Amino acid sequence: GAVVSQHPSRVICKSGTSVKIECRSLDFQATTMFWYRQFPKQSLMLMATSNEGSKATYEQGVEKDKFLINHASLTLSTLTVTSAHPEDSSFYICSAEGTTGSYEQYFGPGTRLTVT
């Protein structure tokens, strides 16, 4: 089956620093990738839609200058949390969309970000 990886799986950073999270589709090409975040005991919230070679589309309330998304190739999208603060601590999950059939989405294992 389709595999999506994320790196790192866990990261702890100090307040004010930036953190980059990578999302890779390992055995298929993904024109579109999606970024979600999940706070404890809550559901996944869509942050942005990332299209290869173009600017990401952000959901209402998500700061595009704080959450920088780059989708430079058909297998890699990155999310950079800039000037991280404790309230950015969350579980960040990406998904990659297949290019055939019913455009199923496959999720990465998630990245646990803790900002101290």
Partner 1 sequence: DAKTTQPTSMDCAEGRAANLPCNHSTISGNEYVYWYRQIHSQGPQYIIHGLKNNETNEMASLIITEDRKSSTLILPHATLRDTAVYYCIVRGNQAGTALIFGKGTTLSVSS
Q: Residues interacting with partner 1, by CB under 8 A?
A: 4, 6, 31-32, 34, 36, 43-46, 49, 51, 91, 93, 95, 97, 99, 102-110, 112
User: What are the CA-CA distances from residue 56 to residues 2, 16, 89 (Å)?
Assistant: 23, 23, 22
Minimum CB separation of residue 58 from partner 1 in Å reads: 12
Closest CA to 13 of 75, 61, 82: 82
Minimum CB separation of residue 42 from partner 1 in Å reads: 8
Residue 74 φ/ψ, nearest 5 degrees: -75, 0
Output 43 or 61, the one with its CB closest to partner 1: 43
Place of tokens 């190739």: 73
C-beta of residue 23 within 8 angstroms of C-beta of residue 76: yes
Minimum CB separation of residue 52 from partner 1 in Å reads: 11
Output 8 or 16, the one with its CB closest to partner 1: 8
Output 34 or 67, the one with its CB closest to partner 1: 34
Minimum CB separation of residue 22 from partner 1 in Å reads: 14
Distance CA(85)–CA(25), nearest Å, equals 29
